[in-house]
A and B are shown apart, each in its own frame.
Chain A
């Protein structure tokens, strides 16, 4: 069974640009959640999608957005990139109808560097 796949794994952007990251969950998983990890702030929750709807949201500005497609694949977008957006972006998928009913399966992450 394939795991959670994130693309791209590494990318470099400049300030002001925008970026789109992709996450393909484990087959059958309907919940996809996104996280940002930085050395200073640690892991922080961005948002969670379930059946194409954003169900839960963390405390990030509107520059951070996402969506989920009918096949459960998800994308997140960051517009007007800032230096502080440099981070490892992780997604996780889970099986249950509510994401507190089972374990989370994480992808390897997309490492974004903003210059």
Chain B
């Protein structure tokens, strides 16, 4: 069983729509990252969260530590937001060792 589950796996929406991508995890974490990967492989870090909510431009990320759940929201979506969005959690599988574990990603396509 994956420690990190993302939903949906694929999402297609019209330009301007409000987008929500979900990430659930099963382990106690010290931090959660949201990443964006464009075709060609380049990865950009969007947010690092350990509690609460962060906002950057049209992107909002929230985390609920008790429910082991995080969401990434995109307001007024645009075709340039088309990418794969990946959730990653930082946790300690054993004492003295920390590991970053990734979700399988959500492929987002925004249609003009």
Separation in Å of the B98 CB from the closest CB of chain A?
Answer: 5
Question: A88 and B97: CB pair below 8 A?
Answer: no
Interface of A is mostly: strand
Within 8 A of A (CB), among B17-65: 30-31, 33, 35, 41-45, 47-48, 50
CA A90 to CA B87, docked complex, whole Å: 16
Question: A42 and B105: CB pair below 8 A?
Answer: yes
Interface centre among A43, A55, A88, A105 (most CB of B within 10 A): A43
Q: A100-B50, A105-B45 given as contacts; is B99 within 8 A of A58 (CB)?
A: yes
CB < 8 Å neighbour of B97 from A44, A56, A102, A105: A56
B110 in the interface (beta carbon within 8 A): no
B100 in the interface (beta carbon within 8 A): yes
Contact with B along A102-115 (1 / 0, CB 8 A): 11111011010000
CA A15 to CA B58, docked complex, whole Å: 46
Residues of B within 8 A of A (CB): 30-31, 33, 35, 41-45, 47-48, 50, 86, 88, 90, 97-105
